Amino acid sequence: MVANWSNLPEELLNLITVRLFSIVELQRFRSICTSWRRSSLYGVDKNNPFPRRGSLIQLNPIAPSETLPEDVVYKFNSGSFLLHNAFFRVTLSSSTSKGWIIKSDLDIINSGRFYLLDTLSRGPLRCSSKSLDLLEFTVSEIREAYVVVYQSKTRVTAPRFERSVLVNVKVAEDYHHGVLGIGWDGYIHYWDGNVLRKLLQMGTRHFSDIIVHKGVTCVLDSHGIVWCISSDLELSRYGTTSLDETITNGCWGDMRFVECSRELYVVERLPNENPRKRKAAGTTTFYYSRTVGFKVYKMDEELGKWIEVKTLGDKAFLMTSDTCFSVLAHEFYGCLKNSIYFTEQRQIKLFKLDNGNGSIITSKSSKSSFQMFSPSFL
């Protein structure tokens, strides 16, 4: 029996339209037949080619009071708010085999305008085009990221939320949106929009990254151990996996999570020298050290340990300021497989793994390898 797709209930059509990636897909959806064209546009912004990224929680910090322990409440800039950025794959509708990657942001505080951002950083993307015919392109979302911004105009990241995720936290019998983040100091902080507090940590451990993996909030500490954060903000160890024996420099800022094909990876940056040194007085100073390579580890849950990965196959890892993720290299212009793209000193670079003996390539030496960050239509 052949189904008559034109007779789908309007409620179902509405559910489909609000899940479409962009206005381009919406127009194609509505062109199928008359009944589909009449479907509701509820929740779709006709003036924005990408889904609207609004703030999911109201961030209105309050000062410590008698009902809040002073040792867990911090002052926070009243102008801070939560951004929901998104990464998209954009292709020409006439040729969808290869595309570019762009990052979007919507200024919900000031102008309400839509912005394109530099993919690997939080800076604006320079473009010469003033307008685009969106029917020429196909747009699909590949990743999202949450950023707590310290100032609405300059988009400065809050120092206690260098890495952030949105979570549901259990309060009594209800669940509420909140933000968990890793600060520049390596500590975990939680913000429910009002109260900002530091989570109790395991001894002197510092943390480098945070991710929601298969519905579980995970954090990575300076020893390469993964911890889970429950809905009531309690920490527990995620299995027995540890990178203790393989960590090169022991600096918590040099390790990041990457989710690839639903599996969890850790990427460790290798500096040319230890970025932290002890002075004679016993204090520790930190300074930036040039990157000479990366190591990649994959969690083997059956063996209960991390396994070093020598090749990524056709995949490439993107280490952005907000989040890290993988892409299929053959789907993007110039993207090199088995590579890690990152920024250093405001310059985009890539590291070719080459079975663990990789090399770093810059845009000056191979401009074609970075084509996916420079769409030809902008």
Task: Band the pLDDT of 170: cuts 50, 70, 90.
Answer: confident
Average pLDDT, the chain: 76
Pairing of strands 347-352, 188-191: unpaired
The least confident of 125-134, 166-175, 233-242, 246-255 is 246-255
- Residue 67 confidence (pLDDT): 38
Per-residue pLDDT for 174 more than 70? yes
Structural domain includes residue 29: yes
Number of domains in the chain: 1
Judge whether 67 lies within some domain: no
Quick check: 49 and 75 in contact, CB under 8 A?
Answer: no
Highest mean pLDDT among 138-147, 150-159, 187-196, 227-236: 227-236
d(Cα 253, Cα 251) in Å, to the nearest integer?
6
Q: What is the pLDDT of residue 198?
A: 84
Question: Does 292 map to a domain?
Answer: no
Q: Is the pLDDT of residue 53 over 50?
A: no
Residues 249-257, mean pLDDT to the nearest whole number:
68
Say what percent of the chain tops pLDDT 90: 23
Q: Is the pLDDT of residue 205 over 50?
A: yes
- Tell me which range, 132-136, 202-206, 229-233, 362-366, is most confidently predicted by mean pLDDT: 229-233
Q: Looking at the predicted structure, is the pLDDT value of residue 105 above 50?
A: yes
Q: Structural domain of residue 31, as residue ranges?
A: 5-37
**Can you tell me the distance from the alpha carbon of 156 to that of 154, in angstroms, rounded to the nearest whole number?**
5
Q: Given a cut of 60, is residue 175 above it in pLDDT?
A: yes
CA–CA distance, 157 with 150 (Å, rounded to integer)? 5
| Residue 28, in any domain of the structure | yes
Q: Quote the CA–CA distance of 322 and 163 in Å, as a whole number.
A: 6
Q: Is 32 among the domain residues?
A: yes
Q: Is residue 22 part of a domain?
A: yes
Spatial separation of the C-alpha atoms in residues 272 and 177, rounded to whole Å: 41
Q: Is the pLDDT confidence value at 370 over 90?
A: yes
CA atoms within 13 A on the CB side of 375: 24
Q: How confident is the model at residue 137 (pLDDT cuts 50, 70, 90)?
A: confident
Examine residue 150 and state whether it is found in any structural domain, yes or no: no
Q: Which amino acid is at 300?
A: D
Percent of the chain with pLDDT over 70: 69
Point out the least confidently predicted range of 208-212, 238-242, 260-264. 238-242
Contact yes or no for 79/47 (Cβ under 8 A)? no
Amino acid at 200: L
For residue 163, being part of any structural domain is answered with: no
pLDDT of 38 above 60: yes
- Answer yes or no: is pLDDT of 242 > 90: no
